[in-house]
Chain A
Amino acid sequence: MTDNRAAGVSNLTVRYGDTLILDDISFSVDRHEIFVILGGSGSGKSTLLRQMIGLERPVSGEVFIDDINITRCPESQFSEALKKIGVLFQGSALISSMTVSQNIALPIIEFTDFSKKSIDRIVRVKLSLVGLEGYGHYLPSEISGGMKKRAGLARALALNPEILYLDEPSAGLDPVTAAEIDRLILDINRQLGTTIIIVTHELASIFAVAQRVIMLDKSTKKIIAEGTPEKLQTECDHPYVCKFFNRQT
């Protein structure tokens, strides 16, 4: 079972000061899977994602990227783990002093030996992948929120990571662009075999891409449901899950 694990957490507990955010959470994501983390606003999805990429340390529990336990491993192994992942932050987090192209090129320059010309070509491919042809020379402050999201996605994809972490990739996008992003996620998953972990609220996206979802609950701080979206919609045994999937109040 662990052989097939691309990422996961076990018995993870997270607090901010005295406030419990996540309580004893465990799950694992299979290789090549598209895995979706759901939950109401403020239920700790972004917090969970930040834990999963090692930006913050848990109170207790373990976090895995591939087979590396990033909660207790030497620095060098952690850097190894980081080389396998790409991350899109909720607020895009593009480096504001660099153009979109420079942002995408940043990890490529650092971690490969390609010439400047080849890197330019790769950047162009990544830009058109997310539909931002011609916007490479814009600064992050000069493009719209949805475009920043897509530029952030292109940067996360820069080194064709094994695992992609996306925090609300289609929030703030119009339905057509959002559907294009879903399509892109499916294509990446299919063509490169990338494991993709997504935090999202968008029902349409969930049904379009998710192979398995978990749902976090704000009051119990635990996972209240796990399974395929279709299963959660029809056989939900938790009232909040039913409401979520059937858009009730």
Chain B
Amino acid sequence: MMSIMAPDSPSPPFEITETDDGKLTIMLSGPLNIKTASPILNALTAALKNKSLTAVTINLKHVSRVDDYGALVLYQIKNDVLPPDTDFHLLNPPDVLQTMLDQMAAGHSDSPGQPDATLSSKFILQTGEATIDTLKSIKEFIDFIGAIVLSVMRFLKNPKSLRTNDIIGYMKTTGVDGLPVVAMISFLIGLIMAFMSSIQLKQFGANIYVASLVALSMVSELGPIMTAIIVSGRSGSAYAAEISTMKISEEIDALVTMGFDPVLFLAIPRMIAAIIVIPLLTMFANLFAIFGGLVIGITMLDLSASSYINQTFNSLKLFELCWGLSKSFVFAIIISGVGCLRGFQARGGASAVGQAATSAVVTSIFLIVLFDSIFAVIRSYWN
């Protein structure tokens, strides 16, 4: 016979009595609750491991209080620590204990983890679900376009129903508030473009063509696309977040029951604002980039301001400007449309808002690049 005390937890202690034929009795005392459960479990696990035992009896006579964490200790010892064929007995268990043990033993359907499936069926399931999701989102996209058309018709029938004050508000948040960052970034881009190209052009004494390069590439390509990407990060995501928040808090449902058309109420003002301000922002972006190029031209390339500006105007045709602006018009529709659509698609809790914002930005940047390529293809056939 031998007797040990739990090594590193003086209170609440337990006492193990082992007989030679592999029978073991554990005498627990003190509270067995959330505070003591973990040390007791660790100590008991250490004490019982690697022993060949035929029967284990736990005497709970001196246990003052048991909660579900205490029950967990007993459950775990019985099921996880001891080999399955060991005889396990509880002496003097309190009434509540058995109920808690039964609840733990009952199925695992309420476990908080992910619903489990085997790896292969998971793959098939996920593929199927992803396909269905994609199809659904294409359908929702088409539905949304239809809803926009309907709303525009509704607005034409009843112009009062358009929220003009909201349009002005969104023009401010999308345009005015976005101007500093657009201006800053395009100024730097103009600076960098001029600097990088001058390294090459200098060798041929073609410094003056830096002005053409900056102006042309900015006005027809970089200006619209940079502005669109910045605005989609700033405002497209904001549209999605605002609308999805309204969606999950039933605000949109409330609008519907009050007889409002949520697309006309929420999406159309944002889209109109975007269509007005994004081309304007693009013009500013062009202007600031040309200014950036001018700074390099004057300071590093010994060009005079007037010759730089002259060269800029000579190389820019009205067509280029219109081409760039029509791109930014299309990008504005993409950014605001996708932002609103993602907002309306949101389902669930707070995480849906984050997802809506993220996917608004990802989708609109993808579509912006896609449409930019389409523009490029059209242009190459045109010429």
Instruction: Specify whether A and B are partners.
Output: yes
Assess A110 versus B259: contact at CB under 8 Å? Given A95-B246, A96-B245, A96-B246: yes
Q: Give A61-120 interface residues, CB cut-off 8 Å to B.
A: 79, 82-83, 85, 87, 89-91, 93-97, 106-107, 110-111
Q: Does B130 contact A (CB under 8 A)?
A: no
Chain A residues within an 8 Å CB radius of B255: 95
Q: Does B34 contact A (CB under 8 A)?
A: no
Q: A87 near B260 (CB under 8 angstroms)?
A: no
Q: A85 near B257 (CB under 8 angstroms)?
A: yes
Q: B259 near A96 (CB under 8 angstroms)?
A: no
Q: Does B251 contact A (CB under 8 A)?
A: yes
Q: A93 near B260 (CB under 8 angstroms)?
A: no
Q: B260 near A89 (CB under 8 angstroms)?
A: no
CA distance A23 to B204 in the complex (A): 83
Q: How far is the CB of A183 from chain B (nearest CB, A)?
A: 25
Chain A residues within an 8 Å CB radius of B245: 96
Q: A93 near B259 (CB under 8 angstroms)?
A: no
Q: Chain B: which residue is nearest A85 at the CB level?
A: B257
Q: Does B177 contact A (CB under 8 A)?
A: no
Q: How far is the CB of B364 from chain A (nearest CB, A)?
A: 23
Interface residues on B, range: 10 to 19
CA distance A106 to B254 in the complex (A): 11
Q: Does B133 contact A (CB under 8 A)?
A: no
Chain B residues within an 8 Å CB radius of A199: none
Q: Chain A: which residue is nearest B254 at the CB level?
A: A93
Chain B contact residues: helix, strand, loop or mixed: helix
Q: A82 near B258 (CB under 8 angstroms)?
A: yes
CA distance A79 to B255 in the complex (A): 12
Contact of A96 among B251, B253, B258, B260 (CB under 8 A): B251
Interface string of B230-256 (1 = CB under 8 A from A): 000000000000100110011101111
Q: Does B11 contact A (CB under 8 A)?
A: no
Contact of A89 among B242, B254, B259 (CB under 8 A): B254
Q: B251 near A55 (CB under 8 angstroms)?
A: no
CA distance A54 to B259 in the complex (A): 11
Q: Does A127 contact B (CB under 8 A)?
A: no
Q: B259 near A95 (CB under 8 angstroms)?
A: no
CA distance A85 to B161 in the complex (A): 20
CA distance A95 to B246 in the complex (A): 7
Q: How far is the CB of B219 from chain A (nearest CB, A)?
A: 37
CA distance A201 to B247 in the complex (A): 26
Q: B161 near A93 (CB under 8 angstroms)?
A: no
Q: Give B239-286 interface residues, CB cut-off 8 Å to A.
A: 242, 245-246, 249-251, 253-260
Q: How far is the CB of B256 from chain A (nearest CB, A)?
A: 6
Q: How far is the CB of A165 from chain B (nearest CB, A)?
A: 8
Chain B residues within an 8 Å CB radius of A85: 257
Chain B residues within an 8 Å CB radius of A111: 259
Q: A55 near B253 (CB under 8 angstroms)?
A: yes
Q: A93 near B258 (CB under 8 angstroms)?
A: no
Contact of B251 among A53, A82, A94, A107 (CB under 8 A): A94
Q: How far is the CB of A159 from chain B (nearest CB, A)?
A: 8
CA distance A91 to B248 in the complex (A): 10
Q: B259 near A82 (CB under 8 angstroms)?
A: yes
Chain A residues within an 8 Å CB radius of B161: 110
Chain B residues within an 8 Å CB radius of A55: 253, 256-257
Chain A residues within an 8 Å CB radius of B249: 91, 93, 96
Q: Chain A: which residue is nearest B250 at the CB level?
A: A93
Q: Give A28-67 interface residues, CB cut-off 8 Å to B.
A: 50, 53-55
CA distance A103 to B116 in the complex (A): 45
Q: Chain A: which residue is nearest B161 at the CB level?
A: A110
Chain A residues within an 8 Å CB radius of B254: 87, 89, 93-95, 155
Chain B residues within an 8 Å CB radius of A90: 250
Q: A107 near B253 (CB under 8 angstroms)?
A: no
Q: Which residues of A contact B (CB under 8 A)?
A: 50, 53-55, 79, 82-83, 85, 87, 89-91, 93-97, 106-107, 110-111, 155
Q: List 17 A-B contacts (CB under 8 A).
A: A50-B253, A53-B257, A54-B257, A55-B253, A82-B258, A87-B257, A89-B250, A90-B250, A93-B250, A93-B253, A94-B254, A95-B246, A96-B251, A97-B242, A106-B258, A106-B260, A107-B258
A87-B258, A89-B253 known; 20 other A-B pairs, CB under 8 Å?
Answer: A53-B257, A55-B257, A82-B256, A82-B258, A91-B249, A93-B249, A93-B250, A93-B251, A93-B253, A93-B254, A94-B251, A95-B246, A95-B254, A96-B245, A96-B246, A96-B251, A97-B242, A110-B258, A155-B254, A155-B258
Across the A-B interface, give the 10 residue pairs with the lowest CB-CB distance, nearest first. Answer: A93-B254, A93-B250, A87-B257, A82-B259, A107-B258, A89-B250, A93-B251, A55-B253, A53-B257, A95-B251
